[in-house]
Copies of this chain bind each other. A is one copy, B any other.
Amino acid sequence: MAKSNLDLVNECDKFPYHQDDPSFYAAHMKNFYQFRVNGCDAVLGYIAKSVAEKFYWSPDNWAVDTTKQTVTLTTAADASPEQRTQAVAQTLNEAVKRDTFQILKGWRNEMYPVFAPGGQFLLELERSASPLFGIVAYGIHCTCYVQDDQGLRIWVPRRSRTKQTYPAMLDNTVAGGMSTGEKPYECLVREAMEEASLPEDVVRANSTAAGCVSYIYVRDPRAGGETGLLQPEVEYVYDIKLGADVIPKPCDDEVEAFYLYTVDETKKALANGEFKPNCAVVLIDFFIRHGILTPENEPDFLEIVAKIHRRLQFPTASHCAK
């Protein structure tokens, strides 16, 4: 059964909205604990109840309130980011030692940041643990395309069959997560080389920043690890228009091959569910910005545009250069 574009969006932005059904939403929220940090008023992420109940929360660093459903890091209100980071790392190391969570088997040795309102940096934690806390993750996604007398064609990589997450699925030409301190454009340049062998000068000469998509993904079995964990994400999107003579090539072992797909081939692969869920969303955004999906040919246009730019209920970063 072919998936509509709205089906694809709903697979990626899966967390309910309060406005659709306030009582369902309230009931659903019972499945989550709020992740909080002492000294910050905001909720920083939603921890699945099953996770909150499984973690060993050392009373040295954590306060768990089972009535209010909150897990609070109790470091001093004026603790340094290093102190908070250290406290969270201890907890994660303990979880690894106890073998508490499957998802931590995918340990990346990459740190993801957590921000207070106003973009204040609170702490950082191991990337693979971010869905355990349901914190906002940041990344970049880039669509490389060719526009010539054969029309618009898109460079589509197939993920390696040995990749931990979404093996063998189709992906965006260049995509990657941003570690603490990394800027979006910097990440684009780095990943363009790592994933597609595109040199920096090609990226700088041909890329356009084109906004961002945001959504709350709920991890399913294809993501590996525990299911039902939340992954609120912001992906900065870029377009790179390439001449037909520039051919992206796999560089690291993440990509098996690149295909140059027509729009119709891309749409067909989308409808077949061949793309990693958030990559589908980025392509749909590309199609909308480039006049391929229009209000006249996409019945769910408004719902799609709104959902792929979800306003997250957590504080987000400013990646503005100082």
| A contacts, CB < 8 Å to B | 17-19, 119, 183-185, 207-212, 214, 234, 236, 288-291, 294-303, 305-313, 316-321
Contacts and interface: CB of A to CB of B under 8 A. Distances in A.
Contacts of A185: 294-296
B209 A302 contact: no
Nearest to A136: B302
A305 B211 contact: yes
A299 B318 contact: yes
A295 B313 CA distance: 19
Given A302-B316, A311-B19, A311-B307, A291 B208 contact: yes
| Count of chain copies | 2
A185 B295 CA distance: 9
Contacts of A312: 302, 306
Contacts of A208: 290-291
Nearest to A239: B291
Contacts of A310: 306, 311
A234 B184 CA distance: 29
Nearest to A288: B211
Contact of A302 (B210, B212, B289, B308): B212
A301 B319 contact: yes
Nearest to A19: B313
13 contacts: A17-B311, A208-B290, A297-B320, A298-B320, A299-B318, A301-B318, A302-B316, A302-B318, A305-B309, A307-B311, A308-B309, A310-B311, A311-B311
A200 B266 CA distance: 31
Closest 7 CB pairs of A and B: A309-B309, A306-B311, A208-B291, A299-B320, A209-B294, A209-B291, A19-B313
